[in-house]
Amino acid sequence: MRSLDIAATGMQAQQTNVDVISNNIANMSTTGFKRRRAEFQDLIYQDLRRVGSSSSDNNTVLPSGAQVGLGVKTGAVYRINEQGNLQQTSNSLDVAIQGNGYFQITLPSGDTAYTRDGTFGLAADGTIVTSSGYAVAPGIVVPANAQSITINASGQVQASIAGQTAPSTLGQIQLAGFANEAGLDAQGDNLFLQTAASGNPVTGAPGSPGFGSVMQGFVESSNVNVVSEMTSLITAQRAYEMNSRVITASNEMLQTLTNLR
């Protein structure tokens, strides 16, 4: 009885859907988090009567045929890269991207990772680093005698140095963009790595064509909409229940066959 296997694939698909929704809800307060959406595809079909096949010796053909689907599968889990709200922190080293682009982060391995999380701080030597201690490219170092730090909309980092009238320029934050942001590989810790699907990064200064600007003293909050996620959760739960009822009904039908004398 096909319905048992078909309903089982439906339950597995809705379980994946709930997994994605639960991860979204769990990260509703994660800085720079982008919500995910599960996409599904139908499985192959069995032809009981193939459409277009001959139905007589007079060259008549079947107009529709008879196909039975075998269920559903997970096609992809997409990342929705829409802008999250900007939350003011008043921390001079917190930076939010308003628009397109990713901060470039140098990992201990020497590889470059990418993030929308602009919660930055200073290492012991004054290097601007992430909350995990990874250097923000291109490795800007703030002098120990700096009295204040300013990061303008174009990513230029300046510091007021004791004894100097004019601010000192320390470096320029560069953003990276990708042709297919959904193709980035999530690594956890709010970091992504490029893949063959994402394409090679294109770098540029904040505010230049194709890149957003940066705002000092702000961070980008998660773009998870709790109301929408709860609605999706209820829908997935109902779909899971309906598939389980199909299995129950199919089992009762099999019991009827078994009890035939």
Q: Mean pLDDT by 10-residue block, N- to C-terminus, for the chain (261 residues)?
A: 90 95 95 94 84 73 79 93 92 93 94 94 92 91 88 91 83 93 92 94 93 94 94 95 93 85 66
Closest CA to 99 of 114, 112, 84: 84
- φ, ψ of residue 88 in degrees (nearest 5): -75, 135
Burial of 89 (0-12, 13-18, 19+ CB in 10 A): middle
Q: What is the DSSP letter of 54?
A: B
Q: Report the half-sphere exposure of 35 (CA within 13 A, side-chain side).
A: 21
Which two structure tokens, joined as six digits, stand for 256? 């009827």
Give the distance from CA 110 to its chain's centroid: 24
Handedness of CA 181, 192, 190, 89 (dihedral sign): negative
- C-beta of residue 73 within 8 angstroms of C-beta of residue 16: no
- C-beta of residue 14 within 8 angstroms of C-beta of residue 240: yes
CA dihedral 128, 132, 137, 139 (to 10 degrees): 40
- C-beta of residue 99 within 8 angstroms of C-beta of residue 55: no
- φ, ψ of residue 26 in degrees (nearest 5): -65, -30
- C-beta of residue 179 within 8 angstroms of C-beta of residue 155: no
Residue 205: partners with Cβ closer than 8 Å, 6 or more residues away: 154, 155, 172, 174, 175, 211
Q: So what's the pLDDT on residue 206?
A: 93
- C-beta of residue 84 within 8 angstroms of C-beta of residue 117: no
Domain limits of the chain? 2-81+224-258, 86-220
For residues 40 and 100, what is the distance between their CA atoms, to the nearest angstrom?
Answer: 28
Crossing angle (nearest 10°) for helices 2-26 and 226-258: 160
Q: So what's the pLDDT on residue 62?
A: 72
